[in-house]
Amino acid sequence: MVQVETGDEREGTPAGGLSDLVEAIAGDPRLEFAGLATNYACFRGPSSGLRDSAEAIAKAARDLRASGLTVPRVSGGNSSLLWLLARGERLPSEITELRCGEALLLGQDALAYEPLADCRQDACVLRAEVLEEYTKPAREGAKRRLVLGLGRQDLGLGEVKFIQPGLREVGRSADYLVVEADESYLETAVGVVLDMIPTYESLVAAWTSPYVELKLR
């Protein structure tokens, strides 16, 4: 699959050089040209250009076919394109497939982060033990806070959303997450395991962290 640049400014061959590259691949017996692909809204592509990206990869496929080249497959993008489908829009007929990792794992599109119909948002749950509980003076006044046994080395800068009500993150260091508990959170905290829904960024970091145990069910 030849990656084509369609506005994200990351990876991919500029459209102007695509024909020569594909012809070179088709003429090399060691290679098999399987089709075209693009990746958009993963680096710098704004949501306003999503439709233009889909149209650009479709046009690239049409142009190659018009020149006599066979284009078996056209991968139109990632989970971001599901935002268009959820709004009832149709993709160009040239697009044969999408690559939907984030949407499959988290059950939401990758632009507006809205839940997708018939998809679960709790397929991936991050769990961490409460190591400390205290109430002491803070900048905003006395606060009940919990210290969890994970931090930037496990989550990067990705956000988490607590399943239990009454909890919110107030900061993190390399190996600790500091959580504020309001009056609605009544559990005795030390030793309790708290469940969180990760964003894609925190999921990738936790999944690859050597300090996080991975369980697939």
Sequence spans of domains, the chain: 2-106, 126-208
Distances (CA, A) of 72 to 26, 33, 37: 13, 8, 11
Provide the CA 151 distance to its chain's centre, in angstroms.
20
- The beta strands (E) that lie in 24-166 are given as 35-37, 73-75, 126-136, 143-148, 160-162
- Asked if 91 contacts 85 with a C-beta cutoff of 8 angstroms, the reply is yes
For domain 2-106, the CATH superfamily is Alanine racemase (3.20.20.10)
The topology under which CATH files domain 126-208 is: Lyase, Ornithine Decarboxylase; Chain A, domain 1 (2.40.37)
Query: How large is the average pLDDT for residues 19-28?
Result: 95
In terms of average pLDDT, the best of 15-19, 46-50, 122-126 is: 122-126
Give me the torsion for CA of 152, 158, 164, 165, rounded to 10°.
110
pLDDT at 110 over 90: no
Query: How large is the average pLDDT for residues 106-135?
Result: 91
Among residues 1, 4, 104, the alpha carbon closest in space to that of 45 is found at: 4
What pLDDT is stored for residue 59 in this prediction?
Answer: 97
Integer Cα distance of 74 and 96 in angstroms: 5
Query: How large is the average pLDDT for residues 29-48?
Result: 93
Encoded tokens for 63: 């142009």
What pLDDT is stored for residue 109 in this prediction?
Answer: 87
**Bridge partners for 162 per DSSP:** 196
What pLDDT is stored for residue 68 in this prediction?
Answer: 95
Phi then psi dihedrals of residue 161, to 5 deg: -125, 125
**What does pTM read for this prediction?**
0.82
pLDDT for 156-170, tens place per residue? Answer: 999 999 999 999 999
Type and span of the H or E element at 50 = helix 50-66
pLDDT for 64-92, tens place per residue? Answer: 999 999 999 999 999 999 988 888 999 99
